[in-house]
Structure 1
Amino acid sequence: MNTPTTAPPTAAPPTAAPPAVASTARLIGDPTVRGLAALLSVNAVGNGLFLTISTLWFTQALGYSASRVGPALTVAGLCGILASLPAGRACDRWNAKSVLTVLHLLQGAAIALYAVAGSFPVFLALACLATAGSRANATARGTLYAHALHPGLRTRALALLRAVNNVGIGAGAALGSVVLTFDSDAAYRGAICVSAAAFLLALIPLRRISTAARPPAAQAGAARAAALSGPRASHLLRDLPYLAVTALNAVVNTLYVVLEVGLPLWLLTYTNAPHLMVGWLLVTNTALVVALQVRAARGITGPARAARAFRRGGLLVAAACLAAACAAHRSAAIAAAVLLAAVVLLTLGEVASQAGSWTLSYDLAPDHAHGTYQGIYQTGISVSQALGPALLTTFVLPHGTAGWAALAALFAGAALALPAAARRAARGTERRRTNSRRRPEDSAAARY
């Protein structure tokens, strides 16, 4: 990826030495990283609080049955799939900070209105708006990272930000647990309002974040990207290598559904492990991500290393599935130990695959169209999150060991296939950049 330069867009940028081996202390001292950390931590506390109390609010306070809330959230998930790509293209046409500001205002309003959702149609509309805003927010944040973070710092900075996000969600969940002890409509409404206010408070650090790391070529390309509205956006679908990487990444990203849905249901329904282990498995995952994510991202620069890290992570997730299968028909103590080992393997796979995934999503995208490419990348993740629960509850858990083995094969296959797909995508990206430097006046055509 091009490094910042004051040369005009038509000149080849100099290759300044990127700070690829920056220490954690240096990352924390970077004002841009600090601003992004403040933005993310405020958001994460609000999200953790809302996730903790939302189910009880929907079912007990609003009075909607689980049979109605479940399909409503499924519809909302489908809306989320449709939101990522338009948000990314909006970031390319205008800028990520402006788009993120609008999304925060919309999400804050949608969450706040949950407190007064008096009818099911209103609840459904708010769920769709909030979920679509969440997926669009992820795309806009990803684009902001591309524009604000130096390429040499980006992967390790994202690892640090992910640890910050997990700490924030944990703090929000702890706050939500306090709210649950009151178990009153007033307490729930107050928590919802605090969650909504977090989106507004996050706008304060957002305003101070600089996008100076955005390459001049990308800044000039943003104007050209504005012309790519309408049917020309379909040209993205011709970048088959990037779409292949996106699809394989989406498969491995199903690990989150395994952690949040598959393992708890497996523990509660098919094993003798104590039910309280569900919470401890999630706590173990959160603690390990905070402790290991920055270290896992160390040294991952360029598509080749990123693809190898992704492959290693995907294979560890596959091993976690095989371990989880071994918890059935065991004593309570052994089942608990096996499931804990499965979560450790899953988390090791998570931190490795995510570090590789971030690098691939940015390094394989054109400099002037990070928003659009982040949009398609996030769309793949949204599809996996929407379809993952049905996959697990229909094709994996009912079939026991065979189902887990099939899921492990799916993860392993995606992990092993990704390096070849990444090599093809890297060749295409380098070819586009070379053509752009040779014929700057035709750069839009060369890229597409």
Structure 2
Amino acid sequence: MPIRILPPPGAPRVLAAAQLSNSVGDGAYYVCSALYFVRVVGLSPTQIGLGLTVAWAVGSVAGVPLGALADRRGPRGTAVLLALATSAAVASFLTIRSFSLFLVAACVYAVAQCGLAATRQALLAGLVAPPDRTGVLAHLQSTLNAGLALGAALGGLALSRDTAGAYLAVFAMDAVSFLVCAVVLLRLPTVAPVPDRGSGEPRLAVLRDRPYAVVTLINAVLLLRMPLLSLAMPLWIVERTNAPSWLVSALFVLNTLAVMAFQVRTARAVTGLRTASRAVWHSSVIMFASCLVFALSAAGLPGWAAAAILVVGATLQVVAEMRQSAGSWQISFALAPAHQVGQYQGFFGTGVPVARTLGPLLLTALLVTWGVPGWLLLGAVFLGAGAATGPAVRWAERSRASRAGTERSAHSHTGQDAGAAAVRA
């Protein structure tokens, strides 16, 4: 079956265009940001790490209220404003030259990025029918990877020049890319805000939804795979194996191209909560196998053999990533009430900044410091999280059905009381 590159016409294709526009800028930003902050802004690596940790921690907290704002005010307008805020935050990096201003700008950037992710999900939910959402999200993920790859190539040109002007050009391009994203989002139809139910329901109901919180926590554990390829693997390859250092770039390209080519096809098997839970479980098993293979690369093998083992491990890792992504998308939408998609997606999305904040520290300690036992423990953590997904999803499903039944009963009694009062009158 041929691979369909473009998403279906209409709203999905416009969403993909918006995703592509800012992911190109982000790809260049990710490649160049560390050196830019050191060589142009004048910060130390410790200051950069502290600032970004604080920023993503703040961003993870802001995702829920910004998602709730999208529910109440409409996701398209909220997404446009957050894209503009992200553009302004990136543009401010062009002029700041102190840690305090860097910290403020980084917090604005992280808050806007986390909020934008939540409002985009709410926007997609308002424009795409439930059966089609996972497939559209797979297309958007492929588009994201294509944009990141192109942006990383452009960022590589800036790195080869290694001048302040080249780095400034990258940040200017990223700021413009979010302006373009905002303009593209304006081409989408307006999604009406969801009116309040007026039943005394708390504004941030997701914070009281314990089953959904457990599902979100499990997903955050599974997302520890995110800093695995970008941070832990480079250190592992250089310090623990005889593989050539250029393999780091090759593994990144392998991951990007595989997601671009096969994410849509992988997502087709996910059609409901049962298949989604099964996909996450299978992904955890494959991830466990990947960790075992990565551990073998430290067995003192020749460089070519270690490289071959690392390629096998990275292939298993990207297969697991695609399955876990498809399953988690379906779970996050299917368990969210229709009138609170924004805040629920904002809460579920906190797994990404949590993984970005805690992942580097945890993975460095596990893999670089502990070595092979660390890989075995990490694989067991993935396996345990995958096994816990199914029961947690079923608990959340029962809880949601119970709440819906209680609400219907309450509305029925209210209608009966009103009818009785009318008769008495």
TM-score (norm 2): 0.91
CA 1:225–1:209: 2 relative to 1, 3 Å: farther
Tell me what 1:368 maps to.
339
Which whole-Å CA distance do the structure 1 matches of 2:52 and 2:198 have between them?
34
How far 1:359 sits from its partner (Å)? 0.3
Tell me what 1:199 maps to.
178
Q: Which moved more, 1:156-165 or 1:179-188?
A: 179-188
CA 1:143–1:68: 2 relative to 1, 3 Å: same
Q: Any stretches of 5+ residues in structure 1 without a counterpart?
A: 1-22, 444-448
Tell me what 2:420 maps to.
none
Whether contact under 8 Å (2:332, 2:348) holds in the other structure is yes
Tell me what 2:161 maps to.
182
Tell me what 1:390 maps to.
361
Tell me what 1:15 maps to.
none
Residue 88 (structure 2) aligned to one of 86, 109, 127:
109
Tell me what 2:256 maps to.
286
Aligned residue type for 1:308: R
Match status 1:147 vs 2:126 = yes
Q: Which moved more, 1:347-356 or 1:203-212?
A: 203-212
How far 1:130 sits from its partner (Å)? 1.0
CA 1:27–1:288: 2 relative to 1, 3 Å: closer
Tell me what 1:85 maps to.
64
Tell me what 1:53 maps to.
32
* SS class of match (2:279): helix
Which whole-Å CA distance do the structure 1 matches of 2:336 and 2:239 have between them?
43
Which whole-Å CA distance do the structure 1 matches of 2:328 and 2:46 have between them?
35
Tell me what 2:287 maps to.
317
Measured against aligned partners, the alpha-carbon deviations of 1:167-222 in whole angstroms (never above 9, x if no partner) come to 0111111111222233222222122111101111112221121356x8xxxx6x53
How far 1:252 sits from its partner (Å)? 0.6
Tell me what 1:223 maps to.
196
CA 1:393–1:407: 2 relative to 1, 3 Å: same
Residue 388 (structure 2) aligned to one of 407, 411, 417:
417
Whether contact under 8 Å (2:366, 2:375) holds in the other structure is no
**What are the equivalent positions in structure 2 for 1:260-271 lying under 5 Å apart?**
260-271=230-241
* SS class of match (1:116): coil
How far 1:342 sits from its partner (Å)? 0.9
Tell me what 1:13 maps to.
none
Measured against aligned partners, the alpha-carbon deviations of 1:213-246 in whole angstroms (never above 9, x if no partner) come to x8xxxx6x53338976xxx346433322211111
The number of residues matched between the two structures is: 413
* SS class of match (1:202): helix
Percent identical among aligned pairs is: 36
Q: Which moved more, 1:179-188 or 1:334-343?
A: 179-188
Which whole-Å CA distance do the structure 2 matches of 1:357 and 1:223 have between them?
27
Tell me what 1:169 maps to.
148
Measured against aligned partners, the alpha-carbon deviations of 1:403-438 in whole angstroms (never above 9, x if no partner) come to 110111000000011111111211222333445556
Tell me what 1:159 maps to.
138
Measured against aligned partners, the alpha-carbon deviations of 1:234-268 in whole angstroms (never above 9, x if no partner) come to 64333222111111111111111112111111111
Aligned residue type for 1:382: P
Aligned residue type for 2:15: L
How far 1:442 sits from its partner (Å)? 8.6
Aligned residue type for 2:69: A
Aligned residue type for 2:86: Q
Residue 371 (structure 2) aligned to one of 400, 403, 409:
400
Which whole-Å CA distance do the structure 2 matches of 1:55 and 1:256 have between them?
18
Whether contact under 8 Å (2:279, 2:327) holds in the other structure is yes
Tell me what 1:306 maps to.
276
Whether contact under 8 Å (2:42, 2:98) holds in the other structure is no
Q: Which moved more, 1:244-253 or 1:47-56?
A: 47-56
Which whole-Å CA distance do the structure 2 matches of 1:146 and 1:202 have between them?
18
Residue 43 (structure 1) aligned to one of 17, 22, 33:
22
Which whole-Å CA distance do the structure 2 matches of 1:93 and 1:153 have between them?
24
How far 1:373 sits from its partner (Å)? 0.8
Which whole-Å CA distance do the structure 2 matches of 1:299 and 1:85 have between them?
30
* SS class of match (1:222): coil
Aligned residue type for 1:411: F
CA 1:26–1:193: 2 relative to 1, 3 Å: closer
Q: Any stretches of 5+ residues in structure 2 without a counterpart?
A: 415-425
How far 1:115 sits from its partner (Å)? 0.9
Which whole-Å CA distance do the structure 1 matches of 2:413 and 2:184 have between them?
38
Which whole-Å CA distance do the structure 2 matches of 1:43 and 1:186 have between them?
21
How far 1:126 sits from its partner (Å)? 1.1
CA 1:26–1:171: 2 relative to 1, 3 Å: closer
Which whole-Å CA distance do the structure 1 matches of 2:84 and 2:71 have between them?
20
How far 1:141 sits from its partner (Å)? 1.4
Which whole-Å CA distance do the structure 2 matches of 1:293 and 1:436 have between them?
38
Aligned residue type for 2:195: A
Measured against aligned partners, the alpha-carbon deviations of 1:131-151 in whole angstroms (never above 9, x if no partner) come to 222122211112112112111
Aligned residue type for 1:343: A
Aligned residue type for 1:243: A
Which whole-Å CA distance do the structure 1 matches of 2:122 and 2:411 have between them?
23
Aligned residue type for 1:417: A
Which whole-Å CA distance do the structure 1 matches of 2:238 and 2:310 have between them?
12
Whether contact under 8 Å (1:366, 1:433) holds in the other structure is no
Tell me what 1:3 maps to.
none
CA 1:333–1:62: 2 relative to 1, 3 Å: same
* SS class of match (2:336): coil
Which whole-Å CA distance do the structure 1 matches of 2:189 and 2:340 have between them?
19
Aligned residue type for 1:303: L
How far 1:364 sits from its partner (Å)? 0.6
Which whole-Å CA distance do the structure 1 matches of 2:14 and 2:391 have between them?
36
Whether contact under 8 Å (1:397, 1:404) holds in the other structure is no
* SS class of match (2:242): coil
Residue 105 (structure 2) aligned to one of 123, 126, 130:
126
Whether contact under 8 Å (1:27, 1:157) holds in the other structure is no
Aligned residue type for 1:222: P
Match status 1:31 vs 2:10 = yes
